[in-house]
Amino acid sequence: MSDHNHATAAPSSGAFDAISTPDVDVELQQFAVELGRFSRAPWMPEVRRLSQASNWHSVCVIAFQWGLIALSCWAAVASGHWLVYVLAAFVIASRQQALGIMVHDASHYLLFSNHAANDVVADLFLAFPVGLSTTLYRSTHLLHHRHANSPQDPDVLIAGNDPDWRWPKTRWACLKLLLMSLFALNLQRAAPVYMRWNPGSNLFRPLSPAFPLRARLLWVGSTVVVFGLIAWFDVWIPALLLWVLPSITILNVISRIRATAEHMLTPSTHELNSTRTVIPAWWERWLIAPMGINYHLEHHLFPSVPGYKLDELHRQLIRDEEFRKLAHITPTYCGPRYGLLGELLTPRVDDSAAN
C-alpha cells in the first residue's frame, strides 16, 4: 500500500471534498485578492519527498497521545490530590490540542494513505473525543485554504460576527478575553465556531459528503460505548474533572491563542505575509502548538506536507531569499513585546513614544 496521497479536487454538496497533494497545492491556494505569489515550482521535488506520509508514524503518534492521557488520568485518580489533578488537566488539555491538530492533518488525508482508514481512525481516536467530525471539519477547512483571508473564507465569515476575534486589543481587553476563556465565560459566543464541526449538532441534518452516514453511525456507536463504560465503572466525576473541564477551560485558552496567531493582523500585502508562522518556546510547542501547527505559513504554501515534517520544510524554505525577506515569522506566542502578543496588542502611549 503506497504512502503517497493521490487526489482530485472537486466541490460537492457545499463541501470542498478535496485531497491535498503537491499537484493541487497551487489550485487550493487561490486568494480572492491579488497578492504577490511565492513560486512553488523550484520546491516541488522537495515537497513531494516530504509529502510521503507514514501510516506507522501516525499509529505511534496517536498511541503516544492516548498513553499520556491514560497515565495522567491514572496519576490523578490514584493520588486523589488536587495538585495532581491540576497538573493532569494541563497535560490532558495539551494532548486534546494535539488530537485536534491531528484532525487537521486528517482533513488533508495526511495520516493514512487509505482514505477510508484515514477518516475512520481520525473520527474514532481524534475527532469524536474532542467534539469534532473529520469530514465536517474538512468541508470548511479546505474552503479556508482556497479563499484564505478573503470574504469567502468561512473562518472569516464566522469570526467576523464575534467581537472576541477583532484585533488589535488593549492589554486589558486581551487579559479579559483570556480570563473569560479560562473560566469558560465566553462559550456561548464561541459555540457557533465549534458547532459547525460538532457531530451531535449535525446528526439530524440531511445526509451529505460533509457528514456521511458512516460517520454518523460511528459517532452514535462510539458515544454509546464511551458513556456505557463511564457508567459501568462509575467514573463520572473523574471524566468531568479530567476531560470535560480541561477542554472548556485550558484548551479553550490555548486553542484561541493558536488560532489567533494563524492569520490575525498579518500585513497581507504578499502571500508570504498573509499567514503567520510562530517559532515557539519549548513549553509553547508542547502546550499551544504541538504537531508542527506553528508552521502555518509553510502549511498554507504546501498543505500536502504532514505537520511533523513542517519543521524540516521551514528549514529548507528559510534558505530562500524571498522567503526570508517577506515571510511573516513571529518569535514566540506569549512574548509580551516581540512575540504574538506584541503584534496583536494596541500600543500604549509610552510604547509609541519609545518607538
pLDDT for residue 160: 65
Whole-angstrom distance, CA of residue 118 vs CA of residue 182 = 32
pLDDT string in tens for the chain (355-residue length): 333 333 323 223 333 333 343 333 443 444 434 678 999 999 999 999 999 889 999 999 999 999 999 999 999 999 999 999 999 999 999 999 999 999 999 999 999 999 999 999 999 999 999 999 999 999 999 889 988 887 788 877 666 677 888 899 999 999 999 999 999 999 888 887 789 999 999 999 999 999 999 999 999 999 999 999 999 999 999 999 999 999 999 999 999 999 999 999 999 999 999 999 999 999 999 999 999 999 999 999 999 999 999 999 999 999 999 999 999 999 999 986 779 988 999 775 544 444 4
Residue-range domain boundaries for the chain:
11-354
pLDDT for residue 130: 97
Whether the CB-CB separation of 215 and 123 falls below 8 Å is answered with yes
Q: Establish how many alpha carbons lie within 13 A of residue 146's alpha carbon, considering only the half-sphere containing its beta carbon.
A: 20
Between helices 82-107 and 134-146, what is the axis angle to 10°? 60
pTM: 0.87
Maximum CA pair distance of the chain?
64
pLDDT for residue 31: 41
C-alpha closest to that of 117 among 106, 128, 108: 106
C-alpha closest to that of 211 among 223, 201, 221, 225: 201
C-alpha cell at 309: 515534517
Sign of the dihedral through C-alpha 16, 20, 24, 29: positive
pLDDT for residue 340: 94
pLDDT for residue 155: 78
Q: What are phi and psi of 313, to 5 degrees?
A: -60, -40
pLDDT for residue 348: 57
Give residue for cell 494535539. Answer: 98
Whole-angstrom distance, CA of residue 273 vs CA of residue 256 = 21
pLDDT for residue 190: 81
pLDDT for residue 194: 85
Whether the CB-CB separation of 303 and 223 falls below 8 Å is answered with no
Whole-angstrom distance, CA of residue 284 vs CA of residue 280 = 5
